[in-house]
Each structure stands twice: as C-alpha cells, then as structure tokens.
Amino acid sequence: MAYLFTSESVSEGHPDKIADQISDALIDNFLAFDPNSKVACETLVTTGQVVLAGEVKSETYLDVQKIARDVINRIGYTKSDYMFEGNSCGVLSAIHEQSQDINQGVDRKSPEEQGAGDQGMMFGYATNETENYMPLALDLSHMILRELAELRRENKEISYLRPDSKAQVTIEYSDDNVPQRIEAIVVSTQHDDFDEEETMLAKIKSDIVSILIPRVVAQLKPEIQKLFTSDIKYHINPTGKFVIGGPHGDTGLTGRKIIVDTYGGKGAHGGGAFSGKDPSKVDRSAAYATRHIAKNMVAAGIADEMLVQVSYAIGVAAPMGIYVNTYGTAKVDLHDGEIAKKIEELFDMRPYAIEQRLKLRNPIYEETAAYGHMGRKNEVVTKVFYSPYTEPIKKEVELFTWEKLDFVDKIKSSFGL
C-alpha cells in the first residue's frame, strides 16, 4: 500500500539556526587561527540578547562579540523592528577553559591514537532517490527555504519577507519506495506588518505558489518536476499573521534542529548535535564519516539505500563497532554484517584518521549550519578571518568533503563489481 513521508527544514533566520551559525562561526575562527583548538560552544538567542557558553582550549583569542554580530547581520536581522538586531543586541560570553579531565582522554603523544571526544553512536545514511543521495522530502524542503531567502535578499518580486521561515514537504511513495507525487507543501514565513490581514494572507499564499515554487521547480530534473501536480495541498502561513518571529518570537538554542541537519527523519540519528563542536567531537566528525561511507557505498551500487552506524567510548581511538542496514536493497550477495566487515577494512574510523581523510581541522563549518550538513556541494572556497589581536588570515578550504564520491572505485574493487 502506498504511504506518505514528510520532512521539514528551517531557514537561516530561524532562532535555532541563528544559534547554530554563531556557534559554528566561532569554531571556524578558532580553527583558522589555531587548527588544534578544542571547542564546544553553545549559543542562546532571545529578544535583544545573545548568550555564548562553552569550553575552549586554544592558543588564540577572539572578539566573540563581533563574530556573533557579523553572523546576525549576514542572516538579515538588521532592523530594530525585529526586536533582535545585530548591531544593538547584547552579547554575553560565558566561555571558559576546557576540562583537563576531558582533554586527557583526547590528546595523545601519537596523533593516530587520539581518543574519541565522547562516547555515543553516530549514523550516516544515503539513498539513490536523488542525485545527491539525500531523501527527497528533505532536499525539497531545503531548496524551498534557500530560494525563499534568495527572494528576500533580492527584495524585488517579494519585498515583505523577514528572515524567519519553515518549510515541510509530504511525498507519496509506492509500495516499492518510489516517489509518486507531492501530497502537501507547508511554508510559514515571517513578514512585515500589513494593514489588512486577509489581504496579507492571500498575497503571501499567491506569491509562494506562483513565484517561489516555480523557481524551485525550474532547478529540478524532469522526473522530480513531474511530482509537482496541480493537486498539491498548500498550507501557507496556516496560523495567519507571522510578524513576530526570530529570537523575539521564540528563543533559539544550538543543536535543536538535528533532524533538519541530517536526513529529515529517514535513516536514524545518534542524538548528538553538530554545530559548535570541533572535529575531535565524534558526534560531528563520525556523523560526517558515516555519511561519506553510506553515500559512496550507494553510489558504487552496493545498495539502493544504506544506513551506517559507528560507536565510540570516550578516550578510546578504535570504534566499538560498525553496523549496516541496507533495508533489503543490497545488490551484492552478502549479508549486512558482512558488508559492515568490508567497510571496516576500507575506512579507518579512528577520530584522527577521520579528521585527516575529510580535512576537518579547517574552518569549514559556518556553511554547514543552515540548510543541512549533508547533501551539500563539495567545493573549494577562499575565506578571510579577522582578529583584533593578529593579522588577518586568508585560507583556501574545501567544503563538505564528506560529500565527495572518492571511494567508489575502491569499494567496487573490494566488492568485485
């Protein structure tokens, strides 16, 4: 029997995502000036206020207030009407030194024996239903909000948008897990105040359906475009007026959108957030590494869909184990446990090896903190970092290295394909 599956995304202006982006901007600046920095930084945003808290071990000093303000202004909170504005909000820092009890379990005389920064399990997932091996409902939700942000910045076709927004897509699948059509699309967007609420609601719905959605559809391949039928149920700002938003409407915290950050409810999630953590924290680095494995395995034709789990003990380099689930879609004559054994042979999952393989000790994290950490474009960019205490640093870095299909040939050879 056909079934429905739903995923959601939130915009860069959502309160929780503001917090994620500030935390990851701090990570990037620490790593730019001291690549060996150990950082765990949480951010809280609310009406007119930002609170930074966390633990740091680093040889550099940063103007954390300026970094936070720059992120807020970049997102678009630049007007006092929003009750949260980059140049005027308060920024309180409660960042202190990392516990030596934790650090002694991570640092080792031999870098290769670097211990995991915490215990826990991490998951990576991939499916061949999209070109980037991501679940379709989440991919479309991200696209809708990226395009909505682009329309906001253009300020031409739609001129009333404010930064906070959410999107949700429901897709009907056939019995054999193939997308058939889009059942419903939900978009809630913050907006300027209108004199007439009824007129406002009608205009927003019309603009989303007739301007935003066609721009999204135009970017898609024909087989995905055909899912956008005239029967889609649209729920646009379904509660009505949405003027009060952002941190004034809802307090934001780092790490509260971990399903948006990963697979939209498909696969699994170990529970640990990513943003605000340097790569010694396996919550982040091992989640990227398992995504890299799952994507390369599916791209190599091992299965149509794959979930990979890895687990660690704090201070121990070697993982506790690797688990694989192909959901019955394996194309090779091996059980999932046997596939997991081959993965152990192909991929060194010690924390230091992951850092080196995926180039994680670089300032590459602010870009991950909105619109998902997975399924993104792997590219090389130049970034410049400023500090009141030293000269600016210009670095050429590679983003989203875990999205590279650089192990496909090795996998095919190992599996005899």
Tell me the binding residues for Mg(2+): 16
Cα separation of 25 and 367, whole Å? 9
- Rounded to 10 deg, the angle between the 336-346 and 282-299 helix axes is 110
CB-CB contact of 258 with 271 (8 Å): yes
Rounded alpha-carbon distances, angstroms, from residue 135 to 152, 260, 322, 350? 26, 11, 22, 28
Q: Residue 188: name the closest of 134, 246, 128, 135 by CA.
A: 246
How many whole angstroms separate alpha carbon 365 and alpha carbon 117?
Answer: 18
Residue list, annotated binding site = 14, 16, 42, 55, 98, 164-166, 241-242, 250, 256-257, 273, 277, 281
Residue 300: both structure tokens together: 């190599």
Tell me which long-range contacts 190-194 makes (C-beta under 8 A, separation of at least 24): 190/13, 190/161, 190/162, 190/163, 190/164, 190/165, 190/242, 190/243, 190/245, 190/246, 190/249, 191/160, 191/161, 191/162, 191/237, 191/242, 191/243, 192/160, 192/161, 192/162, 192/243, 193/243, 194/160
Angle between helices 408-415 and 336-346 (to 10 degrees): 130
Output the known binding site for K(+). 42
* Angle between helical axes of 282-299 and 408-415 (0-180°, round to 10): 60
The residues, any chain, with a CB within 8 Å of residue 344's CB and separated by 6 or more, are: 322
- Number of H-type helices and E-type strands within the chain: 13, 13
* Binding site members for ATP: 14, 164-166, 241-242, 250, 256-257, 273, 277
Q: Which residues are annotated as a binding site for L-methionine?
A: 55, 98, 250, 281
Could you tell me if 91 and 66 are in contact, meaning their C-beta atoms sit under 8 angstroms apart?
no
The sign of the torsion formed by the CA atoms of 125, 126, 129, 132 equals positive
Three-state secondary structure call for residue 75: helix
